[in-house]
Each structure stands twice: as structure tokens, then as C-alpha cells.
Chain A
Amino acid sequence: MFKQALLHYAFAGASVIALFAFLLVFVGTLIWVYRKGSVEIYKHISDLPLDKSQEEGLIHE
């Protein structure tokens, strides 16, 4: 019966659950990235590729 139910899985609920799950993920991520203190952290991280010391091997003490 479980297997039959799985094959007749043609209920709109699957799409709705999926969309709701995605909405949670998306809104949650938005809230997360705008959290307090994120500006400074993200400024530091986004500068990481530009760290010349890593490219040119300058001594860093």
C-alpha cells in the first residue's frame, strides 16, 4: 500500500511542500546575511582573493 501510494504521488502537496521548503531556505538565508555584524565580516571575506601577500609571497608578521 505504501508503494502504491508512492507511485500515485500525484498530489499538489508535493509541489507546495517543496516551494514552502525553498521559501524557508531563501528567507532564512536573507535574514542570516543581514544579521548584525555581517557587514564587517563580509567585507573581510570579500577581500580575501585580493590579499597580495598570498599572491606575491610577502613576509607577513
Chain B
Amino acid sequence: MNEESIKEQYDDKVVKYFLVATIVWAGVALLLGIYAALELASYKFNLGLQWFTFGRIRPLHTNAAIFAFAGNTIFAGIYHSMQRLLKTRMWSDAVSWFHFWGWQLIIVSAAITLPLGFTQGKEYHELEWPIDIAIAVVWVAFGLNMIQTIRRRKEPHIYVAIWFYLATFVTVALLHIVNSIEIPVGYLKSYPVYAGVQDALVQWWYGHNAVAFFLTTPFLGLMYYYIPKAVNKPVYSYRLSVVHFWSLVFIYIWAGPHHLLNTALPEWAQTLGMVFSVMLWIPSWGGMINGLMTLRGAWDKVKADPVLKFLATATIFYGMATFEGPLMSIKSVSELAHYTDWVIAHVHGGALGWNGFLSFGMIYYLVPKLWKTNLYSKSLAETHFWLGTVGIVIYMLSMWTAGISQGMMLNAVDASGHLVYPDFVQTVTRIVPLYWVRAFGGVMYFIGYLLLVYNVIKTIKLAPKAAPAVAGSSNPVLNVSVGDLVKSSHGEGPHRVLEGMPIILTVLAVVAVLVGSVIEIVPMIAATDQSSVEYANFKVKPLTSLQLAGRDLYIREGCYLCHSQMIRTMVSDVLRYGPANEMADSRYDHPFQWGSKRTGPDLARVGGKYPDLWHFRHMLNPRDIVTQSIMPEYKWLLEQKLDLSSIERRMSALQGLGVPYTDLEVSGSVEDAKKEAAALAAAVEKDGGPQGMADKEITALVAYLQSLGKQTEKK
């Protein structure tokens, strides 16, 4: 056999760029988080400006944390580790750079559109349809680069980290495509094809698996590479990693319904979500054990090395979050936890502890390596670690306390069957001090991050000016003989097929995620409204054109982030808000508005509870109505003119999606909206309210709020 040597350099330039992007966006995400936290501690931080309200800032924070910070971490680590594990340079420099700049452009477009109120109103999927298309294009480029790199690999075996990367790629593609099936009704406005309960299931299949396959699997891949690298020991059990991978990928996809327990989601779906979420504890801890046991015999190194401290602690937080999550997925626990800050505590233990700390550990490991120097200050990194850890603990303790306190207060029913705390605001005033504590925890975490920035800048400044280009020395020149590689391959046959061929591996991973997806989603989606018994027992009126315009304002302002519209099947919910919601109540809601947090009360049956003037005054200044309210002011809704120019197009699109508007209602939508607005505004004026509101946004929003709970009639 002719032997040839391959000379190739790894593309570490794109790794450096992704790493710098990670650090920059981490700062943005953390600052936005602190700001959002302060807005909840004091409404004054909303500044009375629409672009700064919690409803607009919170999606900016979550997108920055997940897609900007965690996203760039993933890409930095994948590009760095893959090349070395496969002994080849990335397939295409052009595609690498397209991926890098495309991703940053997507982040910038999010930063511009979200504060302006352009949102789909679905958590972690807020970005409107043109950006959804851009995400799909860039994601395909990333996958193509990855798969082609695997195909041109010089190492025949595919290390388990790469399996996690591949599973991430295909599953995120599937999640994104399915949850992005939407009808554009404007340049930056769309409606999902799903409505009500179907949209709820698709959204939380997406939402939970965004956590699974964007925040967990790629980070597990990074864990399987960087912990062994940092401690210079192989993973504790490769067998365990294989079992871990397949169990995790199969089970995770079912967990979505645990976000919808005790709601109008059919019981069978809730049960599947709960059972598989509890089962998920085991493979998750398999991964955690594998990561931590890799450090056996090297705990003295963990004591001395901040990189290992971050990586080990990240793995421990992963374990905590993946025990807590299954616990919260039990229906009776969810009765207490759902809609409360306990969920926030859980999320941030994972995000700050698992994702954040793993990112920081990777950064501290990679920067000296890539810039060919030593870390500027180990003690600064140690200080960062301790500040960050204490910050997370303060965050979680405050939010656990707030969540459990509020949950218990809201659920408390006395012996005579009455609510012990009938006013929602009673629970808010109890926990606001904890919002200050949480903000303090976030500030500590951020100060730790600032130490990282300083340390990284000083480290890069220590880098040698010009890298020597001598083969075999400090430049990562790969010089491998093909002949030796062929000799090094083990186990042809079944091993080659099941573990050494990326396409087969990817196909099997897709099958694994499709099983859960199909069994949970197809029955929900395939049945139409007309054939459903649940819908047949109810007559549901669609929103009028004015109410629809109002609902789109509700979504724009992010009201769904603090107010749910789903009264659960629990005594305390029914006593507080009225009869539990049925599937029919949200039959025509594109997108559904069930919500996932009650910073304020549920609004599902608020229609008719208060007069119109109450709503006008409440939106202008919530504290005129409820003194201790933490809700922002929405003055601009009384100043800005209602834009009805696209309402006919919106109703037409909804009509196409099955909402029973007549052609007359669609063609007369503008006139009908103006008539309804004029009547509503005149009535408010007569009651002593503000004048000249007929053409203002507030009128549409109030019309919508007054419709809630009034659209459904039992036959």
C-alpha cells in the first residue's frame, strides 16, 4: 500500500472567534438578566418606556443566554474538539465563517427586533419568521460542515462527544422546523399553524427539547472531551457513555408535557410526559457519574486547578438540575411548583451552574492553549469560581424560597373551603424582598464573569507575537500517515456499522427522537376540531377584529410572560379564577396563551370581571388600582394609534387556518374594529375616563381582555 503523509492545520481561528463571541454575549446575557431581575424587584426599572419593559427584555435575556452565550460556547467547543478527535481540519473554511457570521447576525437581529416588540409570543422561539429562516439556513450550514468533516476524518472511530454533537444537530433541526411552521402576515409577523392545545404541546415539545438538545447534549459532548483533557485521564466508562447517549436521546424527547401538568392537555399526554421525565433522571445521572468518576484519583488536581473546579461543579449542577426536574415533573409537585419561581430557580441552576460553569471551564482551558501561553492569573480564576458559586447558591435559595412560599400561599384553602390568601398581590408582596436577593446573586455571578474577561484579556496579551511555523512544534500541524491510520482501526463489522458510520448513527438518533415525537404529537395534531368530542360540546366564538388586534398587542408587550391563561384542575385555581379551562377555550388561539409563569394573576376568565375604565386606569398606572403591584406602566398604549392596516390580512390568514371567520367579517374587519373601538371609547369617556381613545391601542387591548373567558359556551 502506498503510504502518504497528510499535512494539515486545524482551523483554530474560527474557534478563537467563537470563543470571543461567547465571552461578549455572556456579558450581554448576564446584564440583561440582572436588569430583568431588578425590574421584578422594582417596577421603576421598567423606566416607563416600552422597549425596556420586562415583557420585552425577558425574551432578549433568554435568547441571549441560550442562543448567543450557550450557542457560541457550543460552536467553539465543537469546532475545537471535533478537528482533534477526527484528526482533520474542518471541511470548509468558507462554511465555517458563514456559520460564524450568520449566527452573530441572527443574534443582532434578535437584539433589534425583540425590544421593538416583534415576537411570535412563544418561549425560546420568539424570533419572527425571516429570522427563523435564517436560523434554519445557518444551522444547515453548521451541520453540513460537521458531517463533511466527519466523512473526511482520518480517525476511523467516532468518539462519543461527536455522537452528542450529531444528535444535537439533527434534533434541533427537527424541533426548529416543526415549531416554525407559521403563516407570515407581515414582514415581521406570523401566526403558527397550530392553535390552543396542539400549539401548547408542540411548543413545549420544542421548549423542553431545546433545553435537552441545545443546552444539554452538546454540553455533555463538551464534558466528555474537556474533562478527560483537563485531568489527562480517559472517561471513567466508555460503555456507560454509550448507554447514557442512547437512553438520554430516546427518553428526553417525551418530557415536554411536564410543562403542561394539570392543564387542559389530555391526561394521556400528561402521564407520558410525567413518566418519561421521571425516567430521565437515570440516564442524566449516568452522564453525571461518568463525568465525575473520570476525576477519581485526581481530586487533588480539582483542588488546585480552577478549570477542573468549573468543570466538576458544572457536572454537579447538572446532576442537581436533572434530579430536580424529574421531581417537579410529578403532577402533585407540579401543583405547587408550576407558575412559580421554583421553576426559575431550577432553570438558573442549570443555566448558571451547568451551562455557565462548563463554558467558563472550557474558556479557561482553551484560551491559554489557543494563544499558546499560560493563564494570566490562576487566583483570579479561583476567585471567579467562588463568586460564581456563591452567586448561584444565593440565586437558587432565594427563588426556591419565593417559589415554594408563593405556591403554598396560592394553594392554601382553609377548612371552610375558602382561599387563605384571596388576593394574588398578597403573595407578591411576600416575595418581592427575595427578588432583591436574587438580583444580588446575579450581580455576584456577573462580577465573577468580569474577572474572567480581565483574566482572558491579560492572558491574550501574554501570547507570543508570531507563531512559529515549524512542523511538529507549537503550530497544530497534523502530519499523519494514512497507512498507520488503517492499521489502527479496530473491530470491523458490527462496530464499524453501529459506531463508526456517522450517517447510520445519525439516522438511528433521528429514529430515537422521532418515536417520542410521533407518539405524543401526531394524535394531537391529526385530529381536527370538528371531529373532537371535547370541541363538539362547546360553541366557541372567534375574536372580533378589534379583539384580535388587542391580542396581538398582548403578545407584543409580552403579557403572557407574567400572566397565564390556563386555570388548572385544582381546587385552589378554581376557587381563585373560576372553572378550570377546557381545550375548547383556546381552540382558535394562534399562538396559545396558556403562559408558564404567574408573576401576576391568571387572566383566563378576567373578561367582564372589571369594567372597561378599570382596565384603562390599570394599564396607565397599575398602582392606582393595586398599590403594591409590581406591574410596569403602559402609558404608550394610550398614546399610540392602533394600526389596523394589516387586520384584514391577519383575519384572512386565520380563516385559512380554520378559524371560522366569514368572508364578510374578514372584508369588513377594519370598519368593524373602528365601530367597536368607538363604542368602547365612548362608554369609557362617559364613565369619566380619558378622552379620544377610539383610535388608540389601549382600546383594542381592553376589548381583548374583556373577551377572555367569554368566547366559549357549553352546548
Decide yes or no whether B523 CB sits under 8 A from chain A. Answer: yes
- Between A and B, how many residue pairs show CB distances below 8 Å? 148
Please tell me if the beta carbons of B234 and A14 are within 8 angstroms of each other in the complex. Answer: no
B524 to chain A, nearest CB (A): 8
Which residues of the partner chain B approach A61 to less than 8 Å between Cβ atoms?
A: 5, 479, 481, 484
B150 to chain A, nearest CB (A): 14
Q: Mark A11-29, 1 if CB is under 8 A from B, else 0.
A: 1001101110110011001
A50 to chain B, nearest CB (A): 6
Most buried by B among A26, A49, A54, A56: A49
Please tell me if the beta carbons of A6 and B523 are within 8 angstroms of each other in the complex. Answer: yes
Which residues of the partner chain A approach B494 to less than 8 Å between Cβ atoms?
A: 35
Of the listed stretches B265-273, B335-343, B638-646, B670-678, name the one at the interface; the rest are far from the partner chain.
Answer: B265-273
Please tell me if the beta carbons of A41 and B490 are within 8 angstroms of each other in the complex. Answer: yes
In the complex where A44-B157, A58-B472 touch, is A50 in contact with B229 (Cβ < 8 A)? yes
A49 to chain B, nearest CB (A): 5
* Of A7, A11, A33, the contact of B532 (CB 8 Å cutoff): A7
Please give the number of chain B residues whose Cβ is less than 8 angstroms from any Cβ of chain A in the complex.
Answer: 68
Please tell me if the beta carbons of A21 and B239 are within 8 angstroms of each other in the complex. Answer: no
Which residues of the partner chain A approach B242 to less than 8 Å between Cβ atoms?
A: 29, 32-33
In the complex where A42-B239, A49-B228, A55-B84 touch, is A60 in contact with B481 (Cβ < 8 A)? yes
Which residues of the partner chain B approach A55 to less than 8 Å between Cβ atoms?
A: 84, 369, 476
Contact residues of B between 474 and 519, Cβ < 8 Å to A: 474-481, 484, 488, 490-491, 494-495, 498, 512, 515-516, 519
Please tell me if the beta carbons of A54 and B84 are within 8 angstroms of each other in the complex. Answer: yes
Please tell me if the beta carbons of A9 and B272 are within 8 angstroms of each other in the complex. Answer: no
Which residues of the partner chain B approach A14 to less than 8 Å between Cβ atoms?
A: 268, 272, 519
Please tell me if the beta carbons of A59 and B479 are within 8 angstroms of each other in the complex. Answer: yes
Which residues of the partner chain B approach A54 to less than 8 Å between Cβ atoms?
A: 84-85, 87, 476, 478
Which residues of the partner chain A approach B484 to less than 8 Å between Cβ atoms?
A: 60-61
Decide yes or no whether B204 CB sits under 8 A from chain A. Answer: no
* Bound-state Cα–Cα, A38 to B136, Å: 38
* Of B85, B247, B272, B488, the contact of A26 (CB 8 Å cutoff): B247
Which residues of the partner chain B approach A45 to less than 8 Å between Cβ atoms?
A: 157, 159-160, 238
* Bound-state Cα–Cα, A18 to B268, Å: 12
Please tell me if the beta carbons of B533 and A25 are within 8 angstroms of each other in the complex. Answer: no
* Of B512, B516, B527, the contact of A6 (CB 8 Å cutoff): B527
Decide yes or no whether B52 CB sits under 8 A from chain A. Answer: no
Contact residues of B between 693 and 710, Cβ < 8 Å to A: none
Closest A residue to B483 by CB, please name it.
A61
Please tell me if the beta carbons of A37 and B519 are within 8 angstroms of each other in the complex. Answer: no
Decide yes or no whether B246 CB sits under 8 A from chain A. Answer: yes
Decide yes or no whether B279 CB sits under 8 A from chain A. Answer: yes
* Bound-state Cα–Cα, A35 to B495, Å: 10
Please tell me if the beta carbons of B84 and A34 are within 8 angstroms of each other in the complex. Answer: no
Most buried by B among A22, A42, A44: A42
Please tell me if the beta carbons of B85 and A9 are within 8 angstroms of each other in the complex. Answer: no
* Bound-state Cα–Cα, A60 to B495, Å: 26
* Of B268, B275, B491, the contact of A11 (CB 8 Å cutoff): B268
Please tell me if the beta carbons of B243 and A30 are within 8 angstroms of each other in the complex. Answer: yes
* Bound-state Cα–Cα, A59 to B357, Å: 35
Please tell me if the beta carbons of A41 and B522 are within 8 angstroms of each other in the complex. Answer: no
Please tell me if the beta carbons of A57 and B519 are within 8 angstroms of each other in the complex. Answer: no
Decide yes or no whether B123 CB sits under 8 A from chain A. Answer: no
B8 to chain A, nearest CB (A): 10
Please tell me if the beta carbons of A33 and B157 are within 8 angstroms of each other in the complex. Answer: no
Closest A residue to B498 by CB, please name it.
A32
Please tell me if the beta carbons of B267 and A8 are within 8 angstroms of each other in the complex. Answer: no
In the complex where A8-B533, A22-B251, A22-B279 touch, is A57 in contact with B477 (Cβ < 8 A)? yes
Please tell me if the beta carbons of B472 and A25 are within 8 angstroms of each other in the complex. Answer: no
Decide yes or no whether B75 CB sits under 8 A from chain A. Answer: no
Please tell me if the beta carbons of B471 and A59 are within 8 angstroms of each other in the complex. Answer: yes
Which residues of the partner chain A approach B87 to less than 8 Å between Cβ atoms?
A: 54
Please tell me if the beta carbons of A3 and B528 are within 8 angstroms of each other in the complex. Answer: yes
* Of A22, A33, A37, the contact of B239 (CB 8 Å cutoff): A33
Which residues of the partner chain A approach B524 to less than 8 Å between Cβ atoms?
A: 7
Please tell me if the beta carbons of B234 and A46 are within 8 angstroms of each other in the complex. Answer: yes
Please tell me if the beta carbons of B516 and A18 are within 8 angstroms of each other in the complex. Answer: yes
A15 to chain B, nearest CB (A): 6
Which residues of the partner chain A approach B522 to less than 8 Å between Cβ atoms?
A: 6
Please tell me if the beta carbons of B271 and A15 are within 8 angstroms of each other in the complex. Answer: yes
Closest B residue to A25 by CB, please name it.
B250
Closest B residue to A7 by CB, please name it.
B527
In the complex where A14-B272, A18-B272 touch, is A46 in contact with B238 (Cβ < 8 A)? yes
Please tell me if the beta carbons of A49 and B85 are within 8 angstroms of each other in the complex. Answer: yes
19 CB < 8 A contacts A-B: A3-B526, A4-B531, A7-B532, A7-B533, A15-B268, A15-B271, A21-B515, A37-B491, A41-B491, A43-B238, A46-B234, A46-B235, A46-B238, A49-B159, A49-B234, A55-B476, A57-B477, A57-B478, A60-B484
Query: Given A3-B527, A14-B268, A18-B515, 4 more contacts at CB 8 Å?
Result: A8-B533, A10-B267, A49-B224, A56-B476
User: Which 7 A-B pairs give the minimum distances between C-beta atoms?
Assistant: A7-B527, A42-B238, A9-B523, A46-B234, A33-B239, A6-B523, A46-B238
